[in-house]
């Protein structure tokens, strides 16, 4: 089997670029939001990689660092401390990454003293356990953390560990769930422990409820998402499918957060990568000329709002936006176009206090 430093593993297909684009967009919002309230912020890249791909594209550590230091609001965030732990088990990869970070520091000199980047040539579970024990000993809580967990396979990232590490209100996870590999190996002898670790439950229970007809990939996606919610305690869990060149889902990116603003930012990132709103990116379509700009179909949202709010009076537009964000696949930005259409079709009553235009603050909606 090729080592994790083998050049064949460091090509950068379109789905990897899409993953990085999501990370980039999300961090753009995450850094300033968290640095408003917190003295110290932690970015933990559990499977950090070499820092650069064969085609020259930057890997997640460089993306995370560059996004912060080049951020247009960095001057306002500069008094906060940003700690980056890049955990990489392979020695060659860790050395390559350290070299890339050194280069980045030269490129972006003078490097801010408040941004500290550490490469740890260690396994993710070992590092995570050490962090948890240290926090327990010192009876401290973890600084607000964004953990990016992006392995080549599915071992070494037990759910219990993610739960223990990220059991703090402002912690979030962005995790690559390699459903293609999981599907292939879930019933193989010798994989029980790895699967039990990944899901935090026995394989028998993972497969329970799958009736053999339903799509197994979708079943595994929903079990893993449920575990992130119930065992790891993330109130809001979203997933995004990456479809490989053979047309199958290779992996899902899951985002777990306890804050609705986190959902808002991640949905914005996901919709940017898939403007059709299918929460899917396909290598097969990447780079093809799209003849028509993808416009989302808003009719399911229209139906849902009419159903959910049926008979309710004077609902604030902002409430409708949060409902849409948290309970439908749509973004808050889709609400106003739908309300505009519903109003012009005479399907809702818009209560506009004098002087208020369109759907400004203070405007409320009554549904039939
Ligand atoms: C998919 S790559 C990471 C890519 C990187 N996140 C990026 O986006 O640029 C996975 C990396 O995890 C490393 N790795 C494998 N097992 C590991 C473990 N148990 N702990 C930490 N790193 C590990 C591999 O050497 C490899 O560099």
Question: Which CATH number does the domain housing residue 322 bear?
Answer: 1.10.10.10
Q: Which range marks the domain in which residue 343 is found? A: 299-366
Q: How far apart are CA 64 and CA 255, in angstroms?
A: 16
Pocket probe mutation, ligand 1, options 58, 59, 88, max atoms within 8 Å of Cβ = 88
DSSP string, 233-297: --SEEEEEEEE-TTSSEEEEEEEEES-HHHHHHHHHHHHHH-TTSSSEEETTTTTPPPSS-----
Atom of ligand 1 nearest to the CA of 45: 6
Ligand 1 mean position, distance from CA 126 (Å)? 14
Ligand 1 mean position, distance from CA 86 (Å)? 10
Tell me: pLDDT of 94 over 90: yes
In a domain, 1, yes or no: no
Ligand 1 mean position, distance from CA 300 (Å)? 39
Structure tokens at 141: 């809580």
Give me the number of domains the chain comprises.
2
Residues 324, 223 share a domain? no
Residues 256, 177 share a domain? yes
Residues 141, 60 share a domain? yes
Ligand 1 mean position, distance from CA 19 (Å)? 15
Residues 331, 287 share a domain? no
- pLDDT on residue 139: 84
Report residues whose beta carbon is within 6 angstroms of any ligand 1 atom: 4, 47-49, 59-60, 87-90, 93, 123-124, 150-152, 156
Q: How high does pLDDT run on average in the chain?
A: 94
- pLDDT on residue 136: 87
Residue labelled with tokens 């020259």: 56
3-state secondary structure of 107: helix
Residues 311, 191 share a domain? no
Residues 114, 179 share a domain? yes
In a domain, 2, yes or no: no
Residues 193, 311 share a domain? no
Confidence of residue 288 (pLDDT cuts 50, 70, 90): low
Fill in the DSSP letter of residue 101.
H
Q: How far apart are CA 181 and CA 161, in angstroms?
A: 21
Tell me: pLDDT of 286 over 90: no
Q: Which helix (H) or strand (E) holds 137?
A: helix 124-137
Last residue of a domain, one of 263, 291, 319: 291
Ligand 1 atom 2, closest CA: 49
Last residue of a domain, one of 245, 274, 291: 291
Confidence of residue 212 (pLDDT cuts 50, 70, 90): confident
Ligand 1 atom 12, closest CA: 47
Atom of ligand 1 nearest to the CA of 46: 21
Is the CB of residue 268 less than 8 Å from the CB of residue 332? no
Residues 303, 285 share a domain? no
- pLDDT on residue 277: 87
What is the mean pLDDT of the segment spanning 190-205?
96
- pLDDT on residue 287: 62
Atom of ligand 1 nearest to the CA of 124: 20
Last residue of a domain, one of 291, 326, 346: 291
Confidence of residue 1 (pLDDT cuts 50, 70, 90): low
CATH number at residue 229: 3.40.50.150
Residues 91, 41 share a domain? yes
Q: How far apart are CA 119 and CA 276, in angstroms?
A: 38
Q: How far apart are CA 12 and CA 324, in angstroms?
A: 34
Pocket probe mutation, ligand 1, options 152, 156, 180, max atoms within 8 Å of Cβ = 152
Residues 352, 273 share a domain? no
């Amino acid at each position: 089997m090729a080592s994790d430093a083998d050049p064949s593993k460091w090509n950068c297909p379109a789905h990897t670029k899409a993953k990085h684009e999501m990370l980039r967009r999300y961090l753009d919002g995450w850094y300033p939001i968290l640095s408003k309230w917190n003295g110290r912020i932690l970015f933990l890249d559990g499977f950090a990689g070499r820092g650069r791909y064969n085609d020259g594209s930057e890997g997640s550590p460089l993306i995370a660092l560059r996004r912060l230091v080049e951020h247009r609001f960095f001057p306002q965030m500069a008094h906060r401390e940003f700690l980056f732990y890049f955990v990489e088990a392979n020695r060659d990869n860790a050395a390559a990454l350290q070299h890339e970070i050194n280069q980045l520091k030269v490129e972006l000199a003078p490097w801010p003293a408040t941004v500290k980047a550490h490469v740890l040539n260690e396994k993710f579970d070992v590092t995570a356990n050490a962090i948890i024990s240290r926090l327990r000993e010192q009876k401290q809580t973890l600084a607000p953390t964004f953990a990016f967990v992006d392995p080549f396979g599915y071992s070494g990232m037990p759910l219990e560990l993610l739960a223990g590490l990220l059991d703090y209100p402002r912690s979030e996870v962005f995790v690559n769930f390699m459903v293609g590999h999981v599907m292939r190996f879930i019933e193989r002898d010798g994989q029980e422990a790895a699967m039990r670790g990944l899901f935090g439950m026995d394989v028998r229970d993972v497969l329970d409820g799958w009736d053999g007809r339903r799509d197994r990939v979708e079943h595994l996606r929903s079990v893993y998402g449920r575990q992130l919610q119930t065992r790891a305690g993330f109130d809001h869990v979203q997933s995004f499918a990456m479809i490989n060149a053979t047309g199958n889902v290779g992996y899902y990116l899951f985002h777990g957060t306890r804050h609705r603003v986190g959902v808002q930012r991640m949905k914005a990132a996901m919709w940017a990568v898939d403007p059709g709103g299918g929460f899917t990116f396909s290598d097969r379509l990447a780079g093809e000329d799209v003849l028509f700009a993808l416009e989302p179909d808003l009719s399911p949202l229209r139906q849902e709002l009419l159903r959910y709010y049926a008979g309710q009076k004077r609902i604030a537009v902002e409430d409708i936006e949060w409902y849409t964000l948290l309970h439908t696949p749509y973004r808050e930005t889709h609400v106003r176009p739908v309300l505009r259409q519903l109003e012009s079709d005479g399907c809702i009553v818009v209560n506009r206090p004098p002087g208020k235009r369109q759907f400004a603050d203070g405007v409320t909606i009554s549904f039939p």
